[in-house]
Structure 1
Amino acid sequence: MNLESPKVTLNKSAQETFDFLSDVKNFEALMPENISKFEVLENDKFLFALKGMPEIVLKKKEATPPNKIVLGAAGGKLDFSLTGNITEVDANTSEVQLTFEGEFNAMMAMMIKGPISKFIETLATNMTTAV
């Protein structure tokens, strides 16, 4: 299953945006309002939970400055990745699009598609004020 957030334009350079997303503790500022838990576990790993959902641990798997950050599931039953693709528009402007990729059975995909789509859209939208 592949899902994409809308592209958001930020008044920050691609490098500034990359630096923000590289620091996992900054993801707390991007989380939806219904977050029930956020905890930095290591300098490249964090745990979060949304109300009514299980805890999810994400770990930074790949970083290609200043254009790409890949976070992946760290343990648990689901294997997926969340990629931030950063495009430089000009020296002081960048665009970001989040991509969620994971392999799920049809039933699981049907259940999580809506909530995951909304989640990555919220993360992207919150970047416009948090970064």
Structure 2
Amino acid sequence: MNLESPKVTVNKSAQDVFDFLINVENFEKLMPENISKFEVLDEGKFLFALKGMPEIVLKQKEAISPNKIVLGAAGGKLDFSLVGDINETSGEQSEIQLSFTGDFNPMMAMMIKGPITKFIETLATNIPNAI
């Protein structure tokens, strides 16, 4: 399953956006309003839960400054990744797009497609105001 957020324009350089996202503590500022738990577990690793959903642990898997950050599932039964692609459009403006990739059975994919799509859209649209 591959899902993408809309591209979001940020009035910051690609390096500024990258520096913000590389610090996992900042993801708390991007979370939807229905977050019930957020905890930094380690450098590059955090746990979060949305109301009515199980806890999810994400850890930084890859970072290519200033254009790409990859977070992935840290344990658990599901294997997926969340990728942030950052492209500088001018000196002080850039675009970011989040993409979610996971290998799920068809039933699971059908159940989580809507909530995951909404989740990555919320993360992306909150970035310009959070930085």
For structure 2, the residue ranges without an aligned partner over 5 or more in a row are none
* AA partner of residue 5 (structure 2): S
**With structure 2 as the length reference, what TM-score do the two structures score?**
0.99
* AA partner of residue 110 (structure 1): M
SS at the partner of 1:75?
Answer: coil
RMSD of aligned Cα (Å)? 0.3
The aligned length equals 131
Q: Give the structure 1 partner of residue 115 of structure 2.
A: 115
Quote the offset at 1:85 in angstroms: 0.1
* AA partner of residue 73 (structure 1): A
Quote the offset at 1:130 in angstroms: 0.3
Q: Give the structure 2 partner of residue 57 of structure 1.
A: 57
For structure 1, the residue ranges without an aligned partner over 5 or more in a row are none
Quote the offset at 1:43 in angstroms: 1.1
SS at the partner of 1:37?
Answer: strand
Identity across the alignment (%): 76
Q: Give the structure 1 partner of residue 3 of structure 2.
A: 3
Q: Distance in 2 between matches of 1:91 and 1:105?
A: 43
Q: Distance in 1 between matches of 2:35 and 2:5?
A: 19
* AA partner of residue 129 (structure 2): T
**With structure 1 as the length reference, what TM-score do the two structures score?**
0.99
SS at the partner of 2:12?
Answer: coil
4+ runs of 1 displaced by more than 4 Å?
none
* AA partner of residue 105 (structure 1): N
Q: Give the structure 1 partner of residue 28 of structure 2.
A: 28
Quote the offset at 1:31 in angstroms: 0.1
Deviation per CA, 1:73-103: give whole Å up to 9, x if none: 0000100000000000011001000000000
Q: Distance in 1 between matches of 2:117 and 2:5?
A: 7
In the TM superposition, 1:63-78 aligns within 5 A as 63-78=63-78
Q: Give the structure 2 partner of residue 126 of structure 1.
A: 126
SS at the partner of 1:88?
Answer: strand
Q: Distance in 1 between matches of 2:59 and 2:103?
A: 18
SS at the partner of 1:6?
Answer: coil
